[in-house]
Structure 1
Amino acid sequence: MSTNIGRRTLLGAAPLAAAALAASARPARAGGQVVVGTWGGDYAELLTRNVEKPLLAPQGIEVLQDIGSQDARKAKLIAERNGRRSSMDVVHLSDTDMYQMAQLGVFDDVPADIVTNAKNIIPALHRAYSIPHIFSGQVILYNPDKIKTPPKGFADLWDPKWKGRVGIPDLNYPAVTFGTAIMAGGSMGNWEPAKKALLDLKKNKPVVYPSHEAMAQALKAEEVWIAPMWLARTYMWRKAGLKIAHIVPEEGAIPVIFEAAVTKHAQNKANGWAYLNAMLDAGAQAGFADRMGYVPTVTNARLPDDLAAQIGFTPAQQAKFNVPNYEYQAKNLPAILDFWNREFKA
């Protein structure tokens, strides 16, 4: 089953550059190394299993994974942007962070004639400066043994019946904040209504969990009955045996896209483009879908119907996606984080 997103679902995505880069960006030889700044854990292991060993090793390309946090990768990009060489050839970031870094001019545009699998990217996910690897969306998960009537949307987190049973993932503070803003009358371009609403939520005694792993343990122990979370993560936990169900909020889901780009001063640029091309391989993307629950970003990836039903979004749900306003988020995330830490979590 193929997964498609209409042009109206992810508005504002920049078109992929069709022109090739200069001759220096073209592959000069096979083999060599490529340094990839990425996340650890399952993501890194799946890159090795689905991308690096089957697709790049046969080309003689040795992958060196530089594992760390998004903030660490962003700090490197900023520190090295005026230098002659980058310590990373390929960088993995979320869509919002990738947009922020792209504004600093630290990436080369993706050459469509070299990264040939880019032709299969879902049109609405095109970026000039990066390729979309996998995506998911924010849903409301809940314990069906404790909450007999399925919730309808974000507003259910404020229901006094669930006082002390609401979980909030600290790492997802931007999506939680904007989901709250939309529920309270704001938008992806106006987070102000979220301030009062989140302070009101404190009356329900929500517990903010510092990691997704901590949230999973709380769900397993039935300390948390309801929480906002990425659908992909919900799928992984359900697959691991947690008793949870989910609904797509009636206000609309907020999508998250994980992307990859090649740095402007990459030392192994040709291998960087080969890496991006391999990430867009249909088989590699299907491997991530089955293990991590993220939806492929290419039109030629095929998923079993039952898997697509568990991790995907219907056309109607896609049409209601609340697409991030990247420029607005880039300007306002520092203030949002300050409010989150100083007032909401206080």
Structure 2
Amino acid sequence: MSDSLKTTRRTFLLGTAATSLIALGAAGPAFSADKGTVIASVFGGDYGDILRATVDEAIMAPEGYEVIQDISSTEARQTKLRTEKMRARSSFDVAVLADLDMYPMAKLGVLSEVTEENVPRLAAVIPALRKTYSVPQIYSYIAILYNPEKVTTPPTSYADLWKPEYKGKIGVSDKLHVATSAVAALVGGGSMSDFAPGQAKLLELKDKQDVQILPSNEAIAGAFESGDIWITLNYVSRGYSWRRSGLNIERAVPSEGAIPIAFEMAMPKNAPNKDGGFAYLDAALDPKAQIGFAAKMGYLPTVTDAELPAELEAAIGLPAADQDRLIRLDDDYLMQHQTEILDFWNREFKG
């Protein structure tokens, strides 16, 4: 039998079998109607692998969607959203960006409105994280991370980093200049909409506390391991990763409130498969998908009905009372003042 005839016969038999199962009411998810392709522009590495397993294959495929991951950088994704704005169709259906990077795209008017009608799972999202132009897929929050062998009294406030007993043992990541500036603003009497009062507090860290400004989060971990630093500001997801690698690190949620960072998903207005795009946003909020990211990467679920295992909750969880006190960064303020915030950081704080 020729290969072509074998293929034809096999296709016929498979089609007959599927038809029979459907007629009997026994068709499973594998036989869902083909709903087309969904192109998701996402990060690669562990993030992309977890997304593929928990959303693409576990939820979207049984619903009849084929998902193709377009692995790219934040800058490439933003460039496409800008340049494809006037095209009939975008080159992807879903884009993933950090919250501070998603906001400028919303201001450009390129993102579809997200409602409970087109994304039903939006109803389960933590209120402090809800937006009208995107869904928060995963989040973490800025807390005080410290070595409990050196810092024997757990910190309770962001202001504790300015205590004299930590002089020379405080480290901050150069990559987290926005978050660190926000914390300094809170300590200095400012707000998420006014970082100016925090400038004096940053200079105090530099001149009085001999703060170590390290080039990356990896360098922060190395400084903890060597004992060069005892305490820092960073995302709890980082602390979770460092603990898994063997570092002795605890977290303290400050009394002022935790500052969240969310990775969000949005759909361009000119997405080729709009039904598929909304379905993908909804699938990303599924409790099982959310728990998958928490277990692997230490990012918290953005929905209220995803229950973490007790051990994981103890390691990264944020109690409901603290969720209600999340202090969101002011996206509009940061978009307008990001240059001056960075200039002060580089010229005055680091200089």
TM-score, scaled relative to structure 2: 0.83
Of 331, 334, 346, 1:329 maps to: 334
Tell me by how many angstroms 1:303 deviates.
1.6
Residues 93 and 61 from structure 1, CA distance in 2 versus in 1: closer, same or farther, beyond 3 angstroms? same
Partners of 2:128 and 2:326 within 8 A in 1: no
Tell me by how many angstroms 1:31 deviates.
4.1
Residues 212 and 36 from structure 1, CA distance in 2 versus in 1: closer, same or farther, beyond 3 angstroms? farther
2:73 maps to which residue? 69
Tell me by how many angstroms 1:103 deviates.
1.1
Residues of 1 paired with 2:229 and 2:92: CA distance? Answer: 39
Of 163, 169, 186, 1:165 maps to: 169
Q: In the TM superposition, what are the counterparts of 1:163-312 in structure 2 within 5 Å?
A: 163-203=167-207, 204-312=209-317
Tell me by how many angstroms 1:263 deviates.
0.9
Residues of 2 paired with 1:325 and 1:207: CA distance? Answer: 27
Partners of 2:143 and 2:258 within 8 A in 1: yes
Tell me by how many angstroms 1:293 deviates.
2.0
Q: Secondary structure at the match of 2:61?
A: helix
Residues of 2 paired with 1:114 and 1:246: CA distance? Answer: 37
Amino acid at match of 1:194: G
Amino acid at match of 2:345: W
Q: Per-residue displacement from partner, 1:270-327 (whole Å, max 9, x unpaired)?
A: 3222221210111111111122222212232122233223222234433433222222
Residues 246 and 275 from structure 1, CA distance in 2 versus in 1: closer, same or farther, beyond 3 angstroms? same
Residues of 1 paired with 2:88 and 2:216: CA distance? Answer: 36
Q: Secondary structure at the match of 1:84?
A: coil
Tell me by how many angstroms 1:258 deviates.
1.8
Amino acid at match of 2:192: M
Residues of 2 paired with 1:154 and 1:273: CA distance? Answer: 39
Q: Per-residue displacement from partner, 1:93-148 (whole Å, max 9, x unpaired)?
A: 22222222111101111253443323322344322211111222110001112222
Residues of 1 paired with 2:273 and 2:92: CA distance? Answer: 9
Amino acid at match of 2:252: I
- Mapped pair 1:134 → 2:138: yes
Q: In the TM superposition, what are the counterparts of 1:139-158 in structure 2 within 5 Å?
A: 139-158=143-162
Q: Secondary structure at the match of 1:140?
A: strand
- Mapped pair 1:42 → 2:42: no
1:11 maps to which residue? none
Residues of 1 paired with 2:264 and 2:190: CA distance? Answer: 27
Tell me by how many angstroms 1:330 deviates.
2.0
Deviates more, 1:243-252 or 1:111-120: 111-120
2:6 maps to which residue? none
RMSD of the alignment, in Å? Answer: 2.2
Tell me by how many angstroms 1:90 deviates.
0.9
Rg comparison, structure with higher value: 2
Deviation >4 Å, runs of 4+: none
Amino acid at match of 2:272: Q
Residues of 2 paired with 1:87 and 1:81: CA distance? Answer: 10
Q: Per-residue displacement from partner, 1:206-244 (whole Å, max 9, x unpaired)?
A: 233333233223322333211101112212221222111
Of 300, 319, 328, 1:314 maps to: 319
Identity of aligned residues (%): 46
Q: Where does structure 1 lack aligned partners over 5 or more consecutive residues? A: 1-28
How many positions carry a matched residue from both structures? 318
Amino acid at match of 1:231: V
Residues of 2 paired with 1:209 and 1:321: CA distance? Answer: 27
Q: In the TM superposition, what are the counterparts of 1:2-81 in structure 2 within 5 Å?
A: 30-81=34-85
Deviates more, 1:57-66 or 1:173-182: 57-66
Partners of 2:158 and 2:187 within 8 A in 1: yes
Residues of 2 paired with 1:281 and 1:183: CA distance? Answer: 37
Amino acid at match of 1:102: A
- Mapped pair 1:104 → 2:108: yes
